[in-house]
Amino acid sequence: MICPYSLTVPGGVQGQVLGLGQVFIDRGHEVRVLAPCDAPRPEPWVTTIGTSQLNPSNGSIAPIAPDMATQLRVMRTLRDETFDVVHLHEPLVPGPCATTLVMKPAPLVGTFHAAGDPSDYKSFAWVARPMGRRLDALVAVSDDARALAEPTLGGSWTVLYNGVDVARFGVGEPWPRPTDRRIVLFVGRHEERKGLAVLLQSLETLPSDVRIWVASDGPQTAELQARHRDDERIEWLGRIGDVEKAQRLRGADVFCAPSLHGESFGVVLLEAMAAATPIVATDLPGYSRVARPGREALLVEPGDPGALAIALRRVLTDADYAGQLAEAGACRADELSMDNLADRYLDIYQRLA
């Protein structure tokens, strides 16, 4: 498998690559993941092909590696090894995936994760279309991801929702917390599209015993910390590891995902469901197909702090409703487990190989 994004920077694509790789290895398959890394490689079966540089993309910052030295390492590895199948995540992102498309050393599977602005596809259709034809299997992680790429690339598509490691998020002790506080957890990059500013604004109308754990960081961190510096109910956690994230999810009363746009699939919602944590999120297509409205999550209009506060208050005060959301979410996480996703990909690999 090849990932264009640095595996040592938290991200949804990176998590899927590492999660799938571990399942395949546990089943006895030989797996090699090629990707940039900006710190020690996260797993022994990862081959570091270089470091990354930050590139604005889809309202976020992507840690990609388009430099020539990285491409030469990829070319050498693909030339020296004999892979049965090569699986590209975000195949058209400049860097190791695009280089592999040009080389095509084996049957190629391409998984498309992004949704949102189609302008790049329209602007670069002249190169995206012939590159896409080199893929032997086209996979999208959601209907929105397919809708973004399919008009340009054409072809026959399979939609495979992302998976979650149910055991990792659903088992273990929760993070210690004050017994006299109700906890809302936010996990996501501090940028406009993730809606953290809306969540913090909604805190103004929530009861005084509500506390918000804010994980990660980003370009808005300093501004938001300054704006809310007098609110002691906000705990700024910075970047947290996977173990702590799972513990925080299990320890929170509510997980909140207030994103405004640009979400093709809510992996972090799946993680919250696996931890049996009730969810309040915005009603985006990429979210509502994962956590269905009124079943696994309470969804509200994006960008409305008043509506968000009302939803959070309901889940925080109605224990029966919160329990229904948590129970349904845990069942949904079982449906979308990483094991089930691996089964589907193995079917594709075997057919191509």
Render pLDDT for 107-158 as a digit per residue (tens, 0 to 9): 999 999 988 777 778 888 889 999 999 999 999 999 989 999 999 999 999 9
10, HSE (Cβ side, Cα atoms, 13 Å): 17
Report which of 274, 269, 261, 271 is spatially closest to residue 298, judged by C-alpha positions: 269
Residues 216 and 327 in one domain: yes
Of these ranges, 10-14, 47-51, 166-170, the one predicted with the greatest mean pLDDT is: 47-51
- Domain ranges, residue 150: 12-163+337-352
Residue 103 domain flag = yes
> What CATH number is attached to the domain comprising 246?
3.40.50.2000
Same-domain pairing of 212 and 278: yes
Do 196 and 123 reside in the same domain of the chain?
no
Q: Identify the weakest region by mean pLDDT among 132-146, 258-272, 301-315.
A: 258-272
Same domain for 121 and 243, yes or no, is no
Does residue 4 fall inside a structural domain?
Answer: no
* Mean pLDDT score, 18-29: 96
Same domain for 18 and 156, yes or no, is yes
Is residue 1 domain-resident?
A: no
Are 322 and 348 in the same domain?
Answer: no
Q: What's the rounded Cα separation, in Å, for the pair 253 and 315?
A: 8
CA distances from residue 328 to 270, 272, 277, 300 in whole angstroms, order as listed: 12, 12, 10, 18
Q: Please, which residues bridge with residue 255 across strands?
A: 185, 279
The residues with which 256 forms a beta bridge, in sequence order, are 280
**Of 350, 348, 352, 341, the residue nearest 21 (C-alpha):** 341
Pair 179, 217 in one domain? yes
Residue 6 belongs to a domain = no
What is the pTM assigned to this prediction? 0.81
**Contact (CB, 8 A) for 332 and 291:** yes
Give a yes or no: residue 149 inside a domain: yes
323-333 mean pLDDT: 96
**Are 328 and 216 within one domain?**
yes
Q: Examine the domain organization and report whether 324 and 253 are in the same domain.
A: yes
Q: Nearest-5° angle of CA 22, CA 340, CA 250?
A: 75
Whether residue 193 is contained in a domain is answered as yes
Mean pLDDT of 223-235: 96
What pLDDT is attached to residue 267?
A: 87
Residue 200, in any domain of the structure: yes
How confident is the model over 72-98, as a mean pLDDT?
96
My answer on whether 30 and 98 are in the same domain is yes
Number of structural domains (the chain) is 2
**C-alpha distances out from residue 132 to 16, 53, 104, 263, Å:** 21, 24, 12, 22
| CA-based nearest residue to 262, from 195, 180, 164, 333 | 195
Residues 180, 325: one domain? yes
pLDDT for 59 beyond 70? no
Same domain as 348, residue 267 = no
Beta-carbon contacts of 119 under 8 Å, excluding residues fewer than 6 positions away, are none
Distance CA 289, CA 161 (A): 9
Question: What six digits make up the tokens of 234?
Answer: 């906000």
Q: 164: closest CA among 351, 342, 349?
A: 342
Report yes or no on 314 lying in a domain. yes
Distance in angstroms (rounded) separating the CA atoms of residues 251 and 175: 5
Q: What is the pLDDT of residue 345?
A: 98
Query: What are the pLDDT digits (tens) for 184-223?
Result: 999 999 999 999 999 999 999 999 999 999 999 999 999 9
